Amino acid sequence: MLRGGIIGAGFFAANHLNGWRMVDGAEIAALCDTDTGRLSTMGDQFGITRRYTDAAQMLAEEELDFVDIITTAPSHRPLVELAASSGKHIICQKPFAENLTDARAMVAAAQTAGKTLMVHENFRWQSPVRTAINEIRAGMIGTPFFCRASFRSGYDVFSGQPYLAEGERFIIEDLGIHVLDIVRAVMGDVATVAAHTNRINPKIRGEDVATILLSHDSGMSSVVDCSYATQRSPETFPQTLLEVDGDRGSLYLKAGYRLEIHTNGEVETRDVSPELLSWAERPWHNIQESVLSIQQHFCDCLRDGRQPETSGTDNLKTLTLVEAAYLSASEARTVETNHL
Ligand code: NAD
């Protein structure tokens, strides 16, 4: 049984703690948060008695195999470096880092320590998205030549995560990062990025609308469009909708978790709704189920001695797309990813 310690007991941590209870092969032994109120609330809720306000002390005193970092981005680099130098495997929430320099240093720290580093980049692990990815990888629509990945919503994310309204950056860094990662999983690596952003909601600092054109190493193209300023009914939060054209068919992940595969003039339609886990609640159940899936993937990889699909090294490419999109939007030009 792998023993883990959690750092960060805020808004999203309960999903991790619930997920860990269901993971085969791991348990959470200790919890850390600098905020004593949050530490005791979460510790009581999940019956974790080993509690710390200092991550270094937790790592020194506990016999842990891995740490699960669920803090916001500014603390990720020091915590990843601390965990690596303490000889622990690491899962770190997205956004992995505030910039590529930090992210590269974090990957290097884990490599030097010989430890596994996985980014909790969970949208490609949502079961509806995963089904779509698997069908495409299995060749159901042939070779994909176009992908549109769309996340448009008017859901109030700011009440649960007030920091999202305060940052200079918002939708690309927080949400677009997931959608860009899905497109990488479907279409492969990206050569150039052209992005346009707007802020529609006057009460926030960052951009809440982004439209991004990607050209892939394969020569094919994708469009990622994200908005938190879209009023629609029914509300689709937190669904990513997909439209993928291949040379032998097309695939659609439509609102309401409806998967359609169009081949040879026929349409196969499937309900790919995520499971409503006992601790989950709509509409978050899609994301909550993916937390469990990515945690299980991490444990399976440690057991089998292989790299997670969303390893730190892999995530550098997703983070590069985020940086490229902001640079493109601010300078109104197309950005080549290999220049970042
Ligand atoms: P939050 O601010 O509610 O909670 C973070 C907690 O970390 C706070 O309680 C804070 O006191 C604690 N903390 C910060 N620095 C610390 C340190 N050095 N040592 C110990 N504790 C420390 O944030 P949140 O909304 O829970 O988000 C956490 C992360 O999860 C963010 O990076 C966010 O982007 C990510 N997130 C991911 C998803 C997803 O689907 N993957 C969804 C929501 C949030």
Q: Is 140 in the pocket of ligand 1 (CB under 6 A)?
A: no
Could you list the mean pLDDT of each consecutive 10-residue stretch along the chain, which spans 340 residues?
A: 98 98 98 98 98 98 98 98 98 98 98 98 98 98 98 97 97 98 98 98 98 98 98 97 98 98 98 98 97 98 97 98 98 97
Q: Is 136 in the pocket of ligand 1 (CB under 6 A)?
A: no
Q: Is 334 in the pocket of ligand 1 (CB under 6 A)?
A: no
The b-or-e profile of 97-110 (16+ CB within 10 A means b, else e) is bbebebbeebbebb
Claim to verify: residue 193 and residue 70 sit in the same structural domain: no
For atom 44 of ligand 1, which residue has the closest CA? 12
Atom index in ligand 1 nearest the CA of residue 10 equals 4
Claim to verify: residue 61 and residue 17 sit in the same structural domain: yes
Whether ipTM tops 0.95, in short, is yes
Q: Is 120 in the pocket of ligand 1 (CB under 6 A)?
A: yes
- 154: number of CA atoms within 13 Å, CB side? 7
What is the CA(270)–ligand 1 centre distance, in A?
Answer: 35
Claim to verify: residue 51 and residue 137 sit in the same structural domain: no
User: Is residue 52 in some structural domain?
Assistant: yes
Claim to verify: residue 49 and residue 104 sit in the same structural domain: yes
- Residue of 40, 42, 67, 71 to test ligand 1 pocket, by largest number of atoms within 8 Å of CB: 71
Q: Is 13 in the pocket of ligand 1 (CB under 6 A)?
A: yes
Last residue within a domain, chosen from 84, 115, 146:
115
For atom 12 of ligand 1, which residue has the closest CA? 8
- φ and ψ at residue 185, rounded to 5 degrees: -65, -30
For the chain, the domain total comes to 2
- Residue of 7, 17, 72 to test ligand 1 pocket, by largest number of atoms within 8 Å of CB: 72
User: Is residue 286 in some structural domain?
Assistant: no
Q: Is 40 in the pocket of ligand 1 (CB under 6 A)?
A: no
pLDDT of residue 206: 98
Which H or E run includes 288?
helix 285-304
User: Is the sign of the CA dihedral 192, 122, 95, 166 positive or negative?
Assistant: positive
Last residue within a domain, chosen from 95, 115, 135:
115
For atom 38 of ligand 1, which residue has the closest CA? 12
221-227 and 209-216: which strand pairing?
A: antiparallel
Claim to verify: residue 270 and residue 164 sit in the same structural domain: yes
Q: Is 94 in the pocket of ligand 1 (CB under 6 A)?
A: yes
Atom index in ligand 1 nearest the CA of residue 121 equals 41
Q: Residue 22 belongs to what domain range? A: 2-115
Claim to verify: residue 185 and residue 231 sit in the same structural domain: yes
Last residue within a domain, chosen from 62, 83, 115:
115
Say if CB 105 and CB 43 are below 8 A apart: no
pLDDT of residue 316: 98
